[in-house]
Amino acid sequence: MTSQKTQKNLSLFLTAGALLFCFLMLSSVAAAQGPVTQPPYHLSVFATSANGNSQPDSIVQWRDSVLIGFGDHVAKDGSDGKSSTIVQYSLSGDVQRTFSVPGHNDGLRIVSDDELWALQNEDANPNLVVIDLETGQQKMFSFAPTVHGGGFDDMVVKGGQVLMTASNPNLNAQGVNVFPALVSASLSGSTVVVEPVLNGNANATDIPTGSSVQLNLTDPDSMTIDPRGNIVLDSQADGELVFIRNPLSDSPEVGRILITKSTGGSTTVDDTGFARGGETFLLFTDLAGDTIYRLDSPPFGFEPGVAYSASDSDGLVGTLNLDNGILTPIVTGLGSARGMLFVRADGSRGHDDDRKLKRSVPERASASRLALSN
């Protein structure tokens, strides 16, 4: 009796061991295969983390080079006192120079012609470093204590003003963000002065249904500008994109879409980019994989105006339908896709390169309301 029981337990143990071995082997094979790309797209490695840098994230283009921010496992509130790295690459992926900035870098933007604005510490204690890319000189700017309790994540230049997302906000007792989710920013001495633009609980139109909704932006994150000139704000953990027309007017038009996968279920995205015409390719970062990838669309290139999004939670890059929010994967098997940029091989600018700043900021003026669908 004891012998039969021992043999049965041994058999179960061997079966479980064999299943575990098969699972580990399949996982190893999948990892070795790396990302999977749908035709006609072609994926290649642009660069990998090196020299102790890690966690590549935001990407911007300056002339015939790109600059990429590396988080380097620095605390997102800067509490560990460490610095992160910004690396400048040629368009073929060769390192040209590096910059060190105090805190955890998250947002990058080219402002005017030759200034790189770098935002650090998106969770709390934010700072801004402005780098003159011609000379390499850096200047650090501080923020007053933030009304929303967090930091600032990303920025765009629109209408001659810098706009920033107010990230990691405190929520009220009902779990609602009643603080500004979008602010305008200007420099005064060594300080960044911010003014509210859009609250986290603003009213909006649900784009797929046309119904009115109240937003609750608990995680304002990345931003870009679409081909129609709308600001596109990603509320990452909420799984939604917010479109804002005339943000600096008295009557901005706001719409939102919830993001779902074509295979079913909701997902979150980090960056969204819009394909440009002409000779262009897409760069995106895999933060968990410490790799920057290049995506090409032969033989005729990307369709201008099509939206592409990087999903951090599902490790994929796909095309985004702006009518219904459905994300269709074209690259899967990534660790955590983050920063994204369509790069022009000739170094020219696109619709999202409204870099010029106004030296004096006028009061907001009323503007006619324009439908998001225009």
Confidence of residue 148 (pLDDT cuts 50, 70, 90): very high
Check whether 307 has a pLDDT greater than 50. Answer: yes
Give pLDDT, residue 11. 56
Confidence of residue 346 (pLDDT cuts 50, 70, 90): confident
Across the range 332-347, mean pLDDT stands at 93
Give pLDDT, residue 9. 52
Please check whether residue 371 is in contact with residue 252, taking contact to mean a CB–CB distance below 8 angstroms: no
**How many whole angstroms separate alpha carbon 307 and alpha carbon 309?**
7
Check whether 13 has a pLDDT greater than 90. Answer: no
Give pLDDT, residue 40. 94
Check whether 143 has a pLDDT greater than 70. Answer: yes
Half-sphere exposure of 168 (CA within 13 A, CB side): 16
Check whether 112 has a pLDDT greater than 60. Answer: yes
Across the range 53-71, mean pLDDT stands at 97
Check whether 319 has a pLDDT greater than 90. Answer: yes
DSSP string covering 228-252, please? TS-EEEEEGGGTEEEEEESTTSSS-
Confidence of residue 154 (pLDDT cuts 50, 70, 90): very high
Please report, for residues 120, 253, 350, the alpha-carbon distance to residue 369 in angstroms, rounded to integers and kept in the order given.
Answer: 35, 7, 25
**How many whole angstroms separate alpha carbon 266 and alpha carbon 240?**
10
Confidence of residue 183 (pLDDT cuts 50, 70, 90): very high
Give pLDDT, residue 220. 98
**Spatial CA neighbour of 67 closest among 44, 105, 98:** 98
Confidence of residue 4 (pLDDT cuts 50, 70, 90): low
Name the token pair of 195: 């003014």
Check whether 239 has a pLDDT greater than 50. Answer: yes
**Spatial CA neighbour of 115 closest among 99, 95, 137:** 137
Check whether 21 has a pLDDT greater than 70. Answer: no
Check whether 2 has a pLDDT greater than 80. Answer: no
**How many whole angstroms separate alpha carbon 54 and alpha carbon 331?**
22
Give pLDDT, residue 20. 45
Check whether 250 has a pLDDT greater than 50. Answer: yes
Give pLDDT, residue 349. 63
Give pLDDT, residue 142. 98
Give pLDDT, residue 351. 54
On average, the pLDDT of the chain sits at 88
Per-residue pLDDT tens digits for 72-102? 999 999 999 999 999 999 999 999 999 999 9
% of the chain residues with pLDDT over 90: 79
Q: Is the omega angle on the peptide bond into residue 56 within 30 degrees of 0, that is, cis?
A: no
pTM of the model: 0.86
Per-residue pLDDT tens digits for 203-232? 999 999 999 999 999 999 999 999 999 999
Check whether 17 has a pLDDT greater than 60. Answer: no
Give pLDDT, residue 50. 84
Confidence of residue 285 (pLDDT cuts 50, 70, 90): very high
